[in-house]
Amino acid sequence: MPRMLATLAEGFAFLEGPRWHNGQLWVSDMHDDRVLTVDLAGRSETVVEVPGQPSGLGWLPDGRLLVVSMTDRRLLRLDASGLNVVADLSAVATFHCNDMVVDAHGRAYVGNFGYDFEAGMPRRSAALALVLPDGTVHTAAEDLEFPNGAVLTPDGGTLIVAESFGARLTAFDVGANGRLSRRRIWAALQGAVPDGICLDAEGAMWIASPLSKEVLRVREGGQVMERLPTSAQAIACMLGGPDRRTLFVLTAQSFHRDECRAQRNARIEAVEVDVAGAGLP
């Protein structure tokens, strides 16, 4: 019998950036301007409000939370005193920032839209930003087609990023200084739009594909091992739970802020899978 996703929690505006951390699922409700946690009973609690729309989440080695603030193109850190700016990403990001992965050294890789596609602007590629722990910003990679979800392999040696408008996952070697090299296609995806992604212990990737309303488990090279239909557009996914075998999937009926805030029909869906999560996030 095929796996079936079940609703864990609902009533959100638009969820992004799922992370399993300290026994809870952390998510950004980007159209409700807040970061929240959700437990395995579906109970949610607001952690912090982010007026610039939160997206990617990660943690520094000392345990402090990093949050991507989308519309003002900043990376923020949650301190005891509240949110503080780590870096201004506007020199690299040519439109709203989005997802992020933070490595074991506290280096953050942050994607961005590249251009205002909702306004019908001409298509253009985007750059991936690298933010060092001291707040220094570098261009990690260029000419990406809407760099979105990203993962790091367990050894920290490979970064894989979803190019949503390129219908592919692209891999890079990660140097000792965090710089990226040896770019190659990890998987080309027929008919899918890769958004959020997560890695499992067999080296396969779970990929949320909004327009095809599904999550896919894909091996390097592009072989699709499994497909799970979702109730609405699949925005992002994360392997978590006590043994990292619970696949959490964030779904939404719409991308548009006003509709999302009015309808509040974004959900967290979940299903148990066979292979545990691996790597970061």
- 100 falls in which pLDDT band (50, 70, 90)? very high
Read off the amino acid at residue 100.
Answer: M
Express each pLDDT in 13-46 by its tens digit.
999 999 999 999 999 999 999 999 999 999 999 9
- Whether residue 1 is predicted with pLDDT greater than 70 in this model: the reply is no
Q: How far apart are CA 187 and CA 171, in angstroms?
A: 9
Q: How far apart are CA 134 and CA 107, in angstroms?
A: 9
**Please, what is the average pLDDT of the chain?**
96
CATH class for domain 6-272?
mainly beta
Express each pLDDT in 137-158 by its tens digit.
999 999 999 999 999 999 999 9
Q: How far apart are CA 275 and CA 81, in angstroms?
A: 39
Closest by CA to 25, choosing from 4, 11, 41, is: 41
Give pLDDT, residue 120: 76
Q: How far apart are CA 33 and CA 52, in angstroms?
A: 7
Read off the amino acid at residue 207.
Answer: I
- Whether residue 117 is predicted with pLDDT greater than 80 in this model: the reply is no
- Which DSSP state fits 169? E
